[in-house]
Structure 1
Amino acid sequence: MKKTNAARILDRLKINYKLVEYTVDENDLSAEHLAETARLPVEKVYKTLVARGDRNGIFVCVVPGAVPLNLKKAAKASGNKKAAMVLMKELEPLTGYIRGGCSPLGMKKNYPVFIDESAFEQEKIFISAGQRGLQLHLTPSDLQKATGARAVPLT
């Protein structure tokens, strides 16, 4: 299994994690489908979403895979009045990642990261390792440590 930039960052920080492979379905990149395919509990699968605020620019949200991001809560948490998801065509130029393989670790720039507070109810969560077909399994507090994220209500 090839290590991703996200995994190398965790290695450098001496953070424990596990890489989990799964089969990608290009027609369904949803977190729910990933959980079903990889036989993972859907409540432990978190997705990485990239948004743009009207005042502070780009920021990253890590939310439960089966739950939509509440843009009003995301805007408030990030110090913006309004927020919107970045356009799909902007995702790779902004982050270096493609849809279905976007990790909050190892983006082109260090954007502010916000983790939904529900993650901290889980012992460990799954997030993208930075490529389709690969997830990182780690504690929410270790993800917070590695990204400098704030835990906030986002859903």
Structure 2
Amino acid sequence: MKKTNAMRILDKNKIPYVINEYEYDESDLSAVAMAEKTKVNIDRIFKTLVLFGDKTGYLVACISGKTELDLKKIAKISKNKKVEMIHMKDLLKITGYIRGGCSPLGMKKTFPSYIGNSCLNFETIFISGGKRGMQIEIGPKDLIKILDIHIDNISINS
């Protein structure tokens, strides 16, 4: 298996993780589909969303797979008046990752990052491994430490 940027960062920092590969369907790259394929509890799957804030620029949010990001909450927490999702066509240019394979680790640049506080309910969570069909299982505290990620309630249904 070829290492992704996300894995190289974890290796360099001696952070333990487990790779979980699965067959994916390009027509459905959702966390729900991933949970069904892998039989992983969807509450433990954290999707990575990239946004643009009117004051701070780009930022990253990781939320549980079954929840929806609360744009008003993330704007307030990130000290923006307004945030919006970036256009999918810009994802690769901004992060170095494609849709369905965007990891909060190893982006082209380091952006302020936020994660839903429900991550602390689990010993390990799943984040994208940096390519489609690959998830990294990692302790949320390790992810928080390595990314200096902010923890808060940023979902509508959390």
TM (normalized to structure 1)? 0.98
In structure 2, the partner of 1:102 is: 102
In structure 2, the partner of 1:132 is: 132
Q: What amino acid sits opposite 2:80 in the alignment?
A: N
Write out aligned runs for 1:43-62 (5 A).
Answer: 43-62=43-62
Secondary structure at 2:123 match in 1: coil
**Alpha-carbon distance in structure 2 between the residues aligned to 1:117 and 1:108:** 25
Displacement of 1:2 in angstroms is 2.1
2:73 matches 1:89: no
Write out aligned runs for 1:3-152 (5 A).
Answer: 3-152=3-152
4+ residue runs over 2 A deviation: none
**Alpha-carbon distance in structure 2 between the residues aligned to 1:55 and 1:89:** 22
**Alpha-carbon distance in structure 1 between the residues aligned to 2:115 and 2:43:** 14
**Alpha-carbon distance in structure 1 between the residues aligned to 2:2 and 2:92:** 20
Deviations along 1:108-143, one digit per CA (max 9) or x if unpaired, are: 000011011111111110000100010000111101
Secondary structure at 2:43 match in 1: helix
Q: What amino acid sits opposite 1:122 in the alignment?
A: F
**Alpha-carbon distance in structure 2 between the residues aligned to 1:38 and 1:121:** 20
Secondary structure at 1:130 match in 2: coil
Displacement of 1:41 in angstroms is 1.0
**Alpha-carbon distance in structure 2 between the residues aligned to 1:60 and 1:136:** 17
Instruction: Report the count of equivalent residues.
Output: 155
Question: Alignment RMSD, CA only?
Answer: 0.7
Deviations along 1:13-58, one digit per CA (max 9) or x if unpaired, are: 1100000001111010000000101111111111000001111110
Q: What amino acid sits opposite 2:26 in the alignment?
A: E
Task: Using the aligned pairs only, state the percent identity.
Answer: 50
**Alpha-carbon distance in structure 2 between the residues aligned to 1:13 and 1:103:** 16
TM (normalized to structure 2)? 0.96
Q: What amino acid sits opposite 1:80 in the alignment?
A: N
The answer for unaligned runs of 5 or more in structure 1 is: none
